[in-house]
Amino acid sequence: MKNISGTIASGGAAQTLYDPQQQPYKGYWLRNNSTTSLWVNENATAVASQPSIEIKPGELYETPPNLPIMIETLSIIGATTSQAWAARVW
């Protein structure tokens, strides 16, 4: 399991949360430790709307077990610089 916790570098701009090209993974979890929503996308650049996945403040998102996911990239976006999250990939 690899720790990929961090913060938003620039509010409103998507950033790479994890690049599976460096090390493939089977799943991840992410807890939003900030006061506004974070959005993640597993196959494209994250946007603050669908088809990205919204993770509201205090919520935890975890990939479903035994789901064969095809990950191209793991991208995250938040509205405010320094929004924090805790996350792990495995």
| Count: domains in the chain | 1
Other C-beta atoms lying within 10 Å of the C-beta of residue 9: 11
Question: Biggest alpha carbon distance in the chain?
Answer: 34
Averaged pLDDT for residues 70-75: 78
| pTM, entire model | 0.90
Answer yes or no: is pLDDT of 35 > 70: yes
pLDDT on residue 60? 98
Calpha distance 34→51 (Å, rounded):
21
CATH code of 46's domain: 2.60.120
Per-residue pLDDT band for 22 (boundaries 50, 70, 90) equals low
Other C-beta atoms lying within 10 Å of the C-beta of residue 58: 10
Whole domain around residue 8: which residue ranges?
2-89
Exposure of 47 in the CB half-sphere (CA atoms within 13 A): 4
Q: Distances in Å between the alpha carbon of 45 and those of 39, 66, 76?
A: 10, 24, 8
